[in-house]
Structure 1
Amino acid sequence: MSAGPATKFVRRPWNFLGGVAHLQQLPLAMIPEVAFAGRSNVGKSSLINALAGDSTVARTSNQPGRTQQLNFFILGEKQLSVVDMPGYGYAEAPKSLVDSWNRLLRQYLRGRQQLRRVLVLIDLRHGMKANDREITKMLDEAAVSYQLIGTKADKLTQKEREKAADDLHAATKGLIACHPDVIITSSKDGEGLDAV
């Protein structure tokens, strides 16, 4: 699949700025920021790599909970900052670590002036879960713009995809800060990358 204009925009050098485990470590750059959020193993890092056109930008793993801090990337000539957030809902992580991640996420989402949008990734095979609803509630309360992104579309039949997309569209109803358009993606075959 050839890259569209938006995908070409993000296929510039991605420079890893650093990982942040504490609010005091947040970069001070005042360029627009977009964050990728979602449950563990939803495909955040894979989608970032597909957008970048480089499989080494964000570390991927079959093991849930691999991303354990806010990972900041600067795109091109400091035109955009992209944040790969820790996956939420990873049941096997120690409770103290989960509490620490949740605290960091809340502080980041509520106090980041340059944050323009959070892309909340939802695995289409499983739909929205309770912890997805928790993050959308947190984003609504913080008045942070966000958008639902369905991932792993290539793993579903056409009929399953249509139902999953309809379910995600229905889930946006009543979500105050949610963008009304849902984007369906596949990191494997490039579907939806230009829309992201």
Structure 2
Amino acid sequence: MTDIEQEATEKAAALEAGRLLFAQECGFVAAAETLDRLPPDSLPEIAFAGRSNVGKSSLVNALTGRKTLARTSNTPGRTQQLNFFKLGERLLLVDLPGHGYAKVSKSQSKNWTFLVKDYLRGRVALRRVCLLVDARHGLKDNDRELMALMDKAAVVYQVVLTKTDKTKPAELAAMIETLSAELSKRTAAYPVIFPTSALEGAGIEALRAELATLALQR
């Protein structure tokens, strides 16, 4: 078997593993507004973070092949808790409150910020954070603040571009190049960027394959 054939075989196996994992039963486990309400960290966890209305809930739904698993809304700031979903007794998927939405109260925003920061710093089972970034707009200051926190806490995170169906190929390529250059300077950033579209399904299989590898980590 040539190197190219070996690579193709491994890629196909990874895609199939991702498909099988995310085809398993996935259900809501818990919603936590405070750290003492977090479920036991007995399974590897993957958290989804990003600015309000970036498409976190839509991506979770697309990954699991379900339309209403995670609540979606056109109104930013609707996710106000850490929402946990158990995937096939293998993973916990965690939908974090969106950051950067100005119309919530200052006290509410402060509470969400403390909750997310404490979760990211202290959750033993957390294997990776998917930092969702709108492909049209790129990183914002709120994203960079969260990245700095994860760099300091040694929490591995990867950038997942959303809404790529709303960008032109050249614009998307330029965005990926710009992000790659910035991520190369970050200590905890996973170097591979995943462009996705929850609407069209682009990149979903590749992201499933990547995340499936984390289900083996205990």
TM norm. shorter chain > 0.5: yes
- Residue 15 of structure 1 aligns with an amino acid whose one-letter code is G
TM-score computed with the length of structure 1 as normaliser:
0.95
| Post-superposition offset of 1:160 | 1.2
- Residue 54 of structure 1 aligns with an amino acid whose one-letter code is R
Query: Are 2:41 and 2:123, in contact at CA under 8 Å, matched by a contact in 1?
Result: no
Unmatched tracts of structure 2, length 5 or more: 1-14, 208-218
TM-score computed with the length of structure 2 as normaliser:
0.86
Instruction: Name which of 133, 148, 169 aligns with 2:144.
Output: 133
- Deviations for 1:47-72, whole angstroms, at most 9, x for unmatched residues? 00000111110000010001000000
Q: Distance in 1 between matches of 2:67 and 2:180?
A: 30
Larger Rg belongs to: 2
Structure 2 SS opposite 1:17: strand
Structure 2 SS opposite 1:147: strand
| Residue 152 of structure 1 pairs with residue 163 of structure 2 | yes
Partner of 2:54: 42
Partner of 1:180: 191
Worse-matched range after superposition: 63-72 or 185-194: 185-194
Partner of 2:134: 123
Partner of 1:107: 118
- Deviations for 1:81-127, whole angstroms, at most 9, x for unmatched residues? 00000000011110000000000011100110000000000001000
Structure 1 SS opposite 2:93: strand
Point out 4+ residue stretches in structure 1 off by more than 6 angstroms. none
Residue identity over aligned pairs, in percent, reads: 48
- Residue 84 of structure 1 aligns with an amino acid whose one-letter code is D
Partner of 2:37: 25
**Which structure's residues are more often helix, by fraction?**
2
Q: Distance in 1 between matches of 2:159 and 2:95?
A: 15
Query: Are 1:5 and 1:194, in contact at CA under 8 Å, matched by a contact in 2?
Result: no
Q: Distance in 2 between matches of 1:140 and 1:36?
A: 16
- Residue 167 of structure 1 aligns with an amino acid whose one-letter code is T
CA RMSD of aligned residues (A): 1.1
Query: Are 2:41 and 2:124, in contact at CA under 8 Å, matched by a contact in 1?
Result: no
Change (3 A) 1:11 1:48: same
Change (3 A) 1:168 1:8: farther
| Post-superposition offset of 1:4 | 5.0
Change (3 A) 1:57 1:185: same
Q: Distance in 1 between matches of 2:41 and 2:170?
A: 44
Partner of 1:194: 205
Unmatched tracts of structure 1, length 5 or more: none
| Post-superposition offset of 1:171 | 2.0
| Post-superposition offset of 1:8 | 3.4
